[in-house]
Amino acid sequence: MSHWFISDLHLDASRPAITTLFLAFLRDIPNEVESLFILGDLFEAWIGDDLDDELTRQIATGIRGVSERGVAVRFMRGNRDFLLGRNYCRQAGMQLLPDACVMDMGGIPTLLLHGDTLCTDDHAYQAFRQEVRDPAWIEGFLGKTLAERIAFAQQARAASQQHQQQVGDVITDVNGDEVAATFRRYGIARIIHGHTHRPAIHPPSATCPGERIVLGDWYEQGSLLIVKDNGDVELKSLPII
Ligand SMILES: [Mn+2]
């Protein structure tokens, strides 16, 4: 039995090849896989479970097919789809995980994260995150009309792109001290996260007490991490069909 991990698909109607790749990936997951973890940013944007379009329906049907074959599908929210709620999870047959989750994986105490909380050098983003994760803000936002929410999402996306260009690569990556502090805080030996779009397996080092595995995004290809029974890992990319 193995656990499979993906994140940062950023599914969007404007990139149909990735939707096709993901639906084929879902169909091909062997029944022997114990669970599929989706660690956030499954969708490029999410403005509420009441937005029911062709893409969200197709993806819900595809994911539900996997869970009906006995593979547990577990979803953690990312910074793009942090409003994805229980209704959509139910529709897709996936279990909603809290933002930080400790699990034993192949005998290794492992922390699962989307990854944005590790990027503490990006002060502007962390301030934005704190604002929009406030329950009162969320309630207010979900009370707006669909048109208002779509306009907000477009504006937030444009601002985020501009911000990333301005601050550069170092600021948007994880902060080493925060990573080390996170290992100590949770007492774990491995972190698996996405968000930074920098797929890699970082072994423990003088400054970092555990192993950090970063999932890749689904832009030019897919990206998959397999954690086997014995804790061994395989990080691979999936070519666009
Ligand atoms: Mn992200």
Each residue of 99-114: pLDDT tens digit? 999 999 999 999 999 9
Query: Quick one: CA dihedral 148, 151, 156, 157, positive or negative?
Result: positive
Q: pLDDT tens across 112-168, in order?
A: 999 999 999 999 999 999 999 999 999 999 999 999 999 999 998 898 888 888 887
CA of 82 to the centre of ligand 1 (A): 10
pTM across the whole model: 0.96
The CA 172 to ligand 1 mean position distance, Å, reads: 10
Q: What is the per-residue pLDDT for 160?
A: 87
Ligand 1 centroid, distance to 195 Cα (angstroms): 4
The share of the chain scoring above pLDDT 70, in percent, equals: 100
Whole-number pLDDT of residue 241: 74
Instruction: List 11's β-bridge partners, or say none.
Output: 43
Residue 145 Cα to ligand 1 middle (Å) = 25
pLDDT tens digits along 11-60: 999 999 999 999 999 999 999 999 999 999 999 999 999 988 999 999 99
pLDDT, residue 68, reads 97
The residue extents of the domains of the chain are 3-238
Render 177-222 in DSSP notation, one character per residue: HHHHHHHHHHT-SEEEE-SS---EEE---SS-SSEEEEPPPSSSSE
User: If you search the block for the tokens 């109607």, which residue do you land on?
Assistant: 13
Q: What is the CATH number of domain 3-238?
A: 3.60.21.10
Q: Which residue has the tokens 């049907």?
A: 61
- Residues by chain with Cβ below 5 Å of ion ligand 1: 41, 78-79, 195
Give me the pLDDT at residue 16, please.
96
* pLDDT bracket for residue 172 (50, 70, 90): confident
